Amino acid sequence: METAVQINKIFSLEDLARQGLEQRDVKELSAKIFIKDDKVYFFDQTDNKQYRLYSVIHKRSFFL
């Protein structure tokens, strides 16, 4: 069963991969960016292996 990706929840990179999120490198932001379908997910790194989701926007609103 798939776990929902929720704001302020903590995830590992493995959790995000299981959700089908693909990481994108962005030079001008300190956030970790992941893409899935038509959504862009923004994560803060809380430690070496954990990430906190803080925002989700539509892909058209974000230019990579």
Is 4 inside a domain boundary?
A: no
In whole angstroms, how far apart are CA 34 and each of 10, 29, 37, 50? 14, 13, 10, 14
Statement: residue 62 has pLDDT above 70: no
Structural domain including 35 reads 10-61
pLDDT tens digits along 2-56: 557 888 899 999 999 999 999 988 777 788 999 999 999 999 989 888 999 999 9
For residues 11 and 52, give the distance between their C-alpha atoms in angstroms, rounded to a whole number. Answer: 6
Other Cβ atoms closer than 10 A to 34 = 24
In a domain, 47, yes or no: yes
Nearest 5°: the CA angle 27, 31, 34 is: 90
Is 52 inside any structural domain? yes
Alpha-carbon span 62 to 64, nearest angstrom: 6
Residue 5 within any structural domain of the chain: no
**Overall number of domains in the chain:** 1
Give the per-residue pLDDT at 63. 62
